[in-house]
């Protein structure tokens, strides 16, 4: 059948199983939006306040579901407003297809109105970029974009479509979509050697990251840890893969990980690095990281092997497939002496003190978890509140803690929470945890949550300063607080009401408990401002480039 490029665009989205699309209209994409009007019964379009919010929403949708998030923006500033959101998805290996309109092909390269070379701008932060030049190429290019986003190491793909291509016509043949399958080439000898290395270890530790969540390999990872009795630690991107309170769950590793976790890696004789990339927030000093251990790395991306830390053994491929093949080869084991030592260290770990006269972050998060229940999905912005959330949320499920890890994007949270809420619907509460600094970056997305009646609960940790930067200024810059106190007078209750949301102001834990309980019953968005002391610190802390010997405990 003969269709316009715009109708081909809509048909391929339906073909690829896209049910929700985030975006913002403009001149270069008017044909696409006209097609979305006709296909509104099959594709739900969510219009955000800003294109960056749309990109973060598509990202949050993808993180919550494992599906490919889709975002649409017009040419010029619409396209450039996606850049931060695309980069956020790229750094955390999140599958996303970003579709941008552009000026007509005859106007490209002439500095036309709202023209920008978005493919060139985003080339370093996407898995692949396409610029469509002919309408008869559009369908296959869009299909390739979805395939690339989900195949191998996941990530964002950009498709730039000039306006005349969306108006031209071509023959369209529907295709039954095929789920991308990444097949790992398994080497029996390498697997056997890895199993032997694991079997010979006396002080093993599993260190895993977001690749385990992306591969849906949580069950296999836990089966390995259980079978060989190997304690496990995780990066921020993998929170929830192992359940809170499990004896084998050591907790967070790295700059703000607990002392036991960092000490266990320091004293281990084997580190199994699974689906993780040895970032500088974990392997802060690559010369000293796991200095007593052999390292076995499992990762889907061969470029990650030996990139940041030299490893002794490696298995390249999909984590789930490798663990499934490795498990039968690994012998049952007990490491009683090692586990006893770890338990002794845990008894001496840093524990913040409770206070009934003010709101302490750990108590606030504990109360939040208690009231929200185990099915809650948490989304954070970036800063101190993010690290407190990582440390103290009682993580029990994968894809239940969404945060910007690699890029550290302030303003990520509200858009991502909106995307996550649209993904999970009424089945789960979605809690957006933010700081006053991060929240000011994209709080305009409140109008989106109100318009679509999304009961996202936003908890604002308001210490009136840029807390994480101020913490560094306290520790390393002689308390010279340069530009970390913005002196804002924002009244969050009135602002929430101005948007059409509910707002609460809390200065005690009891006040928060009451407000949060009410928020859980709300049919629309709620903001809860919690007053936090500006001198609250995220502890423990290892300075950048340091090791466990440099850990700051108070």
Single out the residue in 346, 376, 408 at which a domain terminates. 346
Single out the residue in 279, 314, 346 at which a domain terminates. 346
**For the chain, how are helix, strand and coil distributed in percent, rounded to 5?**
40, 20, 40
Distance separating alpha carbons of residues 49 and 44, to the nearest angstrom: 16
Within a domain: 48: yes
Q: Does pLDDT of 329 surpass 80?
A: yes
Catalytic residue among 387, 441, 468, 541: 468
Catalytic residue among 11, 16, 22, 51: 51
Say if residue 58 is in the same domain as residue 121.
yes
Within a domain: 539: no
What is the average pLDDT across 277-285? 94
Q: Does pLDDT of 181 surpass 80?
A: no
Say if residue 6 is in the same domain as residue 155.
yes
Q: For 48-83, write each residue's pLDDT tens digit.
A: 999 999 999 999 999 999 999 999 999 999 999 999
The pLDDT value recorded for residue 39 is 97
Q: For 387-442, write each residue's pLDDT tens digit.
A: 999 999 999 999 999 999 999 999 999 999 999 999 999 999 999 999 999 999 99
CATH number for the domain spanning 425: value is 3.40.50.970
Say if residue 57 is in the same domain as residue 120.
yes
Within a domain: 550: no
- 214-232 exposure pattern, b = at least 16 Cβ within 10 A, e = fewer: bbebbebbbebbeebbbbb
- pTM for the model stands at 0.97
What are 300's two structure tokens?
Answer: 């889907």
Q: For 11-49, write each residue's pLDDT tens digit.
A: 999 999 999 999 999 999 999 999 999 999 999 999 999
Catalytic residue among 67, 163, 320, 421: 163
Say if residue 23 is in the same domain as residue 104.
yes
Q: Does pLDDT of 125 surpass 90?
A: yes
The pLDDT value recorded for residue 546 is 93
Q: Does pLDDT of 183 surpass 90?
A: no
Q: Do 459 and 431 form a contact (C-beta atoms < 8 A)? A: yes
Residue 66: give the domain boundaries. Answer: 2-171
Say if residue 313 is in the same domain as residue 271.
yes
Say if residue 165 is in the same domain as residue 228.
no
Within a domain: 299: yes
Say if residue 133 is in the same domain as residue 237.
no
What is the average pLDDT across 342-356? 94
Q: For 390-400, write each residue's pLDDT tens digit.
A: 999 999 999 99
Q: Do 9 and 72 form a contact (C-beta atoms < 8 A)? A: no
Q: Do 228 and 202 form a contact (C-beta atoms < 8 A)? A: no
pLDDT interval class at 488 (50, 70, 90): very high
Within a domain: 178: no
Single out the residue in 171, 203, 229 at which a domain terminates. 171
Q: At what angle do helices 336-346 and 259-267 cross, to 10 degrees?
A: 150
Say if residue 213 is in the same domain as residue 294.
yes
Distance separating alpha carbons of residues 380 and 362, to the nearest angstrom: 15
Say if residue 422 is in the same domain as residue 516.
yes
What element of type H or E holds 14? helix 5-15
Task: For residue 134, indicate whether it is catalytic.
Answer: no
Q: Does pLDDT of 182 surpass 90?
A: no
Half-sphere exposure of 257 (CA within 13 A, CB side): 28
Mean pLDDT over the full length of the chain: 96
Count of domains observed in the chain: 3
Task: For residue 96, indicate whether it is catalytic.
Answer: no
CATH number for the domain spanning 274: value is 3.40.50.1220
Task: For residue 114, indicate whether it is catalytic.
Answer: yes
Within a domain: 75: yes
Question: How far is residue 410 from each of residues 89, 368, 400, measured CA to CA in Å?
Answer: 14, 22, 19
Q: Is the dihedral of CA 5, 9, 14, 15 positive or negative?
A: positive
The pLDDT value recorded for residue 176 is 87
The pLDDT value recorded for residue 32 is 98
pLDDT interval class at 281 (50, 70, 90): very high
Question: How far is residue 67 from each of residues 183, 218, 359, 366, 407, measured CA to CA in Å?
Answer: 19, 17, 38, 30, 21
Say if residue 301 is in the same domain as residue 379.
no
Say if residue 434 is in the same domain as residue 330.
no
Catalytic residue among 114, 324, 341, 346: 114
Task: For residue 137, indicate whether it is catalytic.
Answer: no
- β 204-208/169-171 pair status: unpaired
Catalytic residue among 38, 42, 113, 523: 113
Say if residue 8 is in the same domain as residue 157.
yes
Task: For residue 163, indicate whether it is catalytic.
Answer: yes
């Amino acid at each position: 059948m003969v269709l316009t490029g715009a109708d081909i665009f809509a048909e391929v989205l339906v073909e690829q199983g896209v049910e929700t699309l985030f975006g913002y209209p403009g001149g270069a994409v008017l044909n696409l939006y006209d097609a979305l009007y006709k296909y509104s019964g099959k594709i739900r379009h969510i219009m955000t306040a800003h294109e960056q919010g749309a990109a973060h929403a598509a990202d949050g949708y993808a993180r919550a579901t494992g599906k490919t998030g889709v975002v649409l923006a017009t040419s010029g500033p619409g396209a450039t407003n996606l850049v931060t959101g695309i980069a956020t998805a790229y750094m955390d290996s999140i599958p996303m297809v970003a579709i941008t309109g552009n000026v007509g092909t005859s106007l490209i390269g002439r500095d036309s109105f709202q023209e920008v070379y978005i493919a060139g701008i985003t080339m370093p932060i996407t898995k692949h970029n396409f610029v469509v030049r002919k309408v008869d190429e559009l369908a296959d290019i869009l299909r390739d974009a979805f395939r690339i986003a989900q195949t191998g190491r996941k990530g964002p793909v950009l498709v730039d479509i000039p306006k005349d291509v969306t108006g031209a016509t071509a023959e369209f043949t529907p295709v039954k979509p095929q789920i991308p399958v990444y097949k790992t080439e398994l080497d029996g000898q390498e697997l056997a050697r890895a199993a032997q290395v694991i079997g010979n270890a006396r002080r093993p530790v599993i260190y895993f990251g977001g690749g385990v969540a992306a591969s849906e390999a949580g069950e296999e990872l836990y089966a390995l840890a259980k079978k060989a009795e190997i304690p496990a630690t995780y990066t921020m991107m993998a929170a929830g893969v192992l359940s809170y309170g499990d004896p084998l769950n050591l907790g967070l590793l790295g700059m703000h990980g607990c002392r036991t976790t960092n000490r266990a890696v320091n004293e281990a004789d084997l580190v199994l690095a699974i689906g993780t990339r040895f970032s500088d927030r974990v392997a802060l000093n690559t010369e000293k990281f796991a200095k007593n251990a052999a390292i076995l790395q499992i990762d889907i991306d061969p470029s990650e092997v030996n990139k940041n830390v030299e490893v002794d053994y490696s298995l390249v491929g999909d984590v789930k497939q490798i663990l499934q093949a490795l498990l039968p080869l690994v012998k049952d084991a007990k490491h009683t002496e090692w586990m006893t030592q770890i338990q002794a260290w845990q008894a001496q770990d840093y524990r913040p003190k409770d206070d009934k006269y003010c709101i302490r972050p750990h108590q606030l998060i504990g109360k939040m978890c208690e009231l929200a229940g185990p099915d809650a999905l948490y989304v954070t912005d970036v800063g101190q509140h993010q690290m407190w959330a990582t440390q103290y949320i009682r993580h029990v499920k994968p894809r239940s803690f969404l945060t910007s890890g690699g890029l550290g994007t302030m303003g990520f949270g509200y858009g991502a929470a909106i995307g996550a809420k649209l993904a999970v619907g009424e089945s789960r509460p979605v809690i957006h945890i933010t700081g006053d600094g991060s929240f000011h970056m994209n709080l305009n997305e409140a109008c989106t949550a109100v318009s679509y009646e999304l009961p996202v609960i936003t908890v604002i940790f308001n210490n009136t300063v840029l807390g994480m930067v101020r913490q560094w200024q306290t520790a390393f810059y002689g308390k010279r607080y340069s530009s970390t106190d913005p002196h804002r007078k924002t009244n969050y209750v009135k602002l929430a009401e101005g948007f059409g949301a509910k707002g609460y102001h809390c200065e005690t834990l009891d006040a928060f408990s009451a407000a949060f309980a009410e928020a859980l019953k709300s049919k629309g968005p709620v903001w809860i401002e919690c007053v936090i002391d500006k001198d609250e610190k995220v502890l423990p802390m290892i300075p950048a480039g340091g090791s466990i010997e440099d850990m700051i405990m108070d």
